[in-house]
Copies of this chain bind each other. A is one copy, B any other.
Amino acid sequence: MKKVGVAILGLGVVGGGTYKILTGHRQNYMNAHCVDIVVESVLETNRERALACGVEEGKLASNISEICSNPEVDIVVETIGGVEPAKSYVLAALNAGKSVVTSNKELYCKYGHELEKAAKHNHVGLFYEATCVGGVPVIRALLDNLQGNNITSIIGIINGTTNYILTKMTNEGKSYADVLKEAQSLGYAESDPTSDVEGYDATYKLSILSGICFNKKIPYSNIYREGISNLSPVDIAYGKKLGYVIKLLAIGKDSSKGVEVRVHPAFVRTSHPLASVNDNYNAVYITGDSVGDVMFYGKGAGAMPTGSAIVGDVIYCATHTQHRYSTFNNTQSAAPDTKFVTNFESAYYLRFLAADKAGELAKITAILGKYGISVAKVVQDNEDGCKTEVNLILVTHYTREANIKKAVAAIGKDLADTAVEAVIRVI
């Protein structure tokens, strides 16, 4: 039976999960895939942690060179995360003739092109299914199943931490700050949650996914980004009444007008399949010109789901000899002919805190009208009649982002008795 040696760089959550799956299923893989996959080496600075995972002392490498020069190692799994030292290690492994499987979205998003070039040069494989949406197989589906389509749109809930926070805020009516604190104490959010809650993590993944979808280089820095930290339970509650749920969406669209890529919170109609994706589940909703709408759903993070994606790549790599190299993964710069649409179209939920006096709604809608914005729904919430200020909610028809910005600025400036409290896109 063919034997394939694996080295794992970094035995944290994902690396530990990968180690557990590979060692626990070794006999299964021999039976089902006729390949003996052996973890030959582990690089982990925290030796205690590695030993606690069950790694034998003798299999602990002291440095990357040891792994690169180990002839028993065929595939290197990188689960360190971040750019350095992961990047140097991955390049060293590729240049030493090892195939690489990585779960490192930041690395692949920022330096995918460089890694792909090194892999191609060395005739080895580079696999990155685990960079996006954990165990949910989206990347290979795009590359090997949906590649006959012109993909026109991808809409994803691709960050588990924010989806957990928003689900909690929605179900329990709690504030962002309170739920974040809970999530941190449960280990669902980092002590510095910025990358998740401000949408950076989602832009890395959207850069990779939309690159594949549209066969174009989509630098993550070209992605419009807005996080969830300013969302208020008041708006989530009004959204619920209107038949919406709040999600942090990663949206990519491609048309003759150009590419539109953005990460921001948005209201989703409850009838949309994405609306029922809750807690730490993720989903990606893709529209192709032939296939129509497809959705992929599952756990987007965690030791075992992400480990599942890595092991899927490891087995594929171990049983296939032909490799492919992507040309669209380079976030240093987009191709000169790629046009990015920033003045995109959307419906908008607007909440104003307005003086409860005659004519205020008329003034607001007059300004909206001036910018060509027509209103689909109005809710004025002063049922008990005892407040001097009321929440005035308007949902617009589809309009351009720039128009909304101008109208909202004009309302803030011209109407002394009206404050703009929230602007949330609606899909």
Contact = CB atoms under 8 A, between A and B. Distances in A.
Q: How large is the interface on A (under 10, 10 to 19, 20 to 34, 35 or more residues)?
A: 35 or more
Interface string A31-43: 1110000000000
B295 A149 contact: no
Interface string A110-147: 00000000000000000001000011110011001111
A94 B276 CA distance: 45
Interface in A311-366: 311-312, 314-316, 319-322, 324
A298 B293 contact: yes
A294 B305 CA distance: 10
Interface in A146-198: 146-150
A292 interface: yes
Contacts of A25: 148, 150
Contact of A145 (B137, B150, B276, B320): B137
A158 to B, nearest CB: 14
Interface string A294-305: 111111000011
A148 B308 contact: yes
Contacts of A31: 215
Interface string A4-34: 0000000000000100011001001101110
Contacts of A46: none
A149 B316 contact: no
Nearest to A22: B148
Given A129-B145, A312-B145, A316-B144, A296 B296 contact: yes
A259 interface: no
Contacts of A288: 135, 308
A-B pairs with the 8 shortest C-beta distances? A148-B311, A137-B145, A294-B298, A135-B291, A291-B308, A290-B308, A295-B297, A145-B312
